[in-house]
Amino acid sequence: MRLGLGEVIDTLDRDAALAIGPELGEIFVAAFGSYGEEPADADRFATEQLPTHADREDFRLVAARLDGRVVGFAYGFTGRRGQWWPDRIAEAVSAELADEWIGGHFEVVELAVHPDAQRNGLGTALMTALMSGLPHEKALLTTYSDDRPAPRLYRRLGWQVLVPDLGWGSALYGLDRGVPVAR
């Protein structure tokens, strides 16, 4: 997908994503540095977090490039009970909400845009590309519970606040995509 400012968004498979892991780690830290991520977290992202997640079912990563350089990315996979994040969320929400939303959902893990490329619609384009064509009926993510750009972006894209504060400063957002689930 080509965007208006010369950016190109590509969908990467596991191997392609891992091959640019260090570059993605740098974007991660640049995007979240003002929220506490430190330079050492780039290596942790590239060598621990990304490889673990890249091995998950239905892993999908979209990367935006400008002049060949990665300026943003988003990724996720199918979330299942027995994984750390779905289990943590299930413990923090009502049993009814957990039963309806958790397990078999598409779990959006990261959306990161380099500060120099922010406020140009790139986050919207990345999320649109990430979610396009997924077979999942439901999608989940957590983001800041206070008023920041990320929560506003998700609400503009149709995500609903399921739980405004999970108890650790994050809100749970859900997107009912209305895609029938094959049984």
For 166-178, the pLDDT digits (tens) are 999 999 999 999 8
If DSSP codes are grouped into helix, strand and coil, which group holds residue 105?
A: strand
Q: Any idea what DSSP says for residue 93?
A: S
Flag whether 24 is in a domain. Answer: yes
Q: Is the pLDDT of residue 3 over 70?
A: no
Let me know if residue 183 belongs to a domain.
Answer: no
> What is the phi/psi pair of residue 13, to 5°?
-85, 180
Is 170 contained in some domain? yes
CATH of the domain at 30: 3.40.630.30
pLDDT higher than 90, residue 37: no
Q: pLDDT value at position 183?
A: 36
- The pLDDT of residue 182: 45
**Assigned domain for 182 exists:** no
Average pLDDT on 76-105 reads: 97
Range of the domain at 59: 7-176
Mean pLDDT of 87-114: 97
The answer to the question of residue 181 being in a domain is no
Residue 9 CB-density burial (10 A; 0-12 exposed, 13-18 middle, 19+ buried): buried
Q: Which residues pair with 65 in a beta bridge?
A: 8, 70
127 lies in some domain: yes
- 67 assigned to some structural domain: yes
Say what the pLDDT of residue 36 is. 66
In which order are the strands placed within the sheet that holds 160-163?
7-12, 60-66, 69-79, 105-113, 138-144, 170-176, 160-163
To the nearest whole number, what is the mean pLDDT of the chain? Answer: 91
Quote the pLDDT of residue 7.
Answer: 73
Residue 2 lies in a domain: no
Q: What is the pTM of this model?
A: 0.91
Structural domains of the chain, count: 1
